Amino acid sequence: MNPALEQTLDGMVAIITGSAGGVGRASAVEFARRGARICVADLDENGGRETAERVVSDGGKAFFQPTDVSLSTSVESMVRATVERYGGLHILYNNAAATRLCNKDDRPVTELPEWVWDKMIAVCLKSVYLCCKFGIPEIKKAGGGCVINTSTVDAMIGSPGYDAYTAAKGGVIAITRSMAVEYARDRIRVNCIAPGNVESDHADMGFTSPDARKISESLHLTRLGRPSDIARFAAFLASPQSEYITGGIFNIDGGYTAFKAGEETIYAAYKPLDAMGKQGR
Ligand SMILES: NC(=O)c1ccc[n+]([C@@H]2O[C@H](COP(=O)([O-])OP(=O)(O)OC[C@H]3O[C@@H](n4cnc5c(N)ncnc54)[C@H](O)[C@@H]3O)[C@@H](O)[C@H]2O)c1
């Protein structure tokens, strides 16, 4: 059998947060191609509608639900709208993050404004709690399914200048394991993807110079990541093919965490951001 066909998501309903672009949009397209019906949930209304339209024009099923994942009432509406529309929920993919805030305003703790810390924790960590609080009861009702969380290699290996982001994403790793244990009895698998540097225009990750790009490449053993690299792995984690996999933290990172980069490279990769007012790598 074609391995891609074995990873079918036929009949499943998925919420993908932060799917107005980047990894989330690529995942919405990939999940729908494998048969899932998708709730595209995002703050960005134009991008979110575009994603849903793209899925539908490819022959899939999706709708856009304007959502702020850091607000309880908004998350509750997101889950309710999905269940009303598609009759249940099987897959919750927590992908949304405050990537612009991270690139522009995150700092070492001594220089980090308190509002940035609070906002980062709310969008990148509290959101996982809220989406699971309202989403997991519906997955239980459906007889089981999965949660996919999103961390980063920056939560595995010290990266200077991103203290709010790394703290929030470290919390995502910890809660992935505790939720995996708690909800195994309900046939709900909980896993986490930690991407390396993924080229995502939407996240303003555009490199500011060829040198910056070269340094980022030197932190990987392969080319830089593409949203589709993460989307394909997420689709595998969502599929019955991964029924033996839970509580896992997966570095999908082109080898970023496989070796120790020299201090010079690390500082070259992160120091210029200060000079550029953190406009992106
Ligand atoms: N791109 C990378 O290099 C990289 C590396 C490691 C981890 N990640 C993680 O992968 C995930 C996807 O990243 P991406 O590169 O596609 O970023 P992205 O900025 O393209 O996508 C993030 C999405 O989240 C949405 N969002 C932000 N705040 C929100 C809120 N309060 N409520 C709802 N939606 C909100 C944004 O509108 C955006 O569509 C993120 O969790 C990010 O932290 C990305």
More confident residue, 93 or 206: 93
Residue of 86, 93, 162, 165 marked active site: 165
Residue 187 belongs to some domain of the structure? yes
Instruction: Tell me which DSSP letter residue 261 carries.
Output: P
Q: How many structural domains are present in the chain?
A: 1
276: confidence class by pLDDT, cuts 50, 70, 90:
very low
Residue 239 belongs to some domain of the structure? yes
For 218-253, the pLDDT digits (tens) are 999 999 999 999 999 999 999 999 999 999 999 999
Q: What percent of the chain lies above the pLDDT cut of 90?
A: 82
> The domain that contains 202 carries what CATH number?
3.40.50.720
Separation of CA 152 and ligand 1 centre (Å): 11
More confident residue, 31 or 279: 31
Pocket test for ligand 1, best of 99, 152, 157 (most atoms within 8 A of CB): 99
Establish whether residue 96 lines the binding site of ligand 1, counting it when its CB lies within 6 angstroms of any ligand atom: yes
Distance CA 12, CA 187 (A): 15
Separation of CA 185 and ligand 1 centre (Å): 30
Among 67-81, 112-126, 137-151, 267-281, the minimum mean pLDDT is found in 267-281
Residue 213 belongs to some domain of the structure? no
Residue 273 belongs to some domain of the structure? no
Query: By residue range, what is the domain housing residue 88?
Result: 3-206+224-260
Question: Which residues, 6+ apart, have CB-to-CB distance to 27 below 8 Å?
Answer: 16, 19, 93, 95, 227, 230, 231, 234, 235
Establish whether residue 40 lines the binding site of ligand 1, counting it when its CB lies within 6 angstroms of any ligand atom: no
Residue 217 belongs to some domain of the structure? no
For 163-194, the pLDDT digits (tens) are 999 999 999 999 999 999 999 999 999 999 99
For 11-65, the pLDDT digits (tens) are 999 999 999 999 999 999 999 999 999 999 999 999 999 999 999 999 999 999 9
Establish whether residue 205 lines the binding site of ligand 1, counting it when its CB lies within 6 angstroms of any ligand atom: yes
Residue 275 belongs to some domain of the structure? no
- Backbone torsions φ then ψ of 121, nearest 5 degrees: -65, -40
- Residue 265's pLDDT is 84
Q: Is 165 a residue of the active site?
A: yes
Q: Which of 88, 64, 67, 93 is nearest to 78 (CA)?
A: 67
Residue 265 belongs to some domain of the structure? no
Q: What is the mean pLDDT of the chain?
A: 93
Residue 219 belongs to some domain of the structure? no
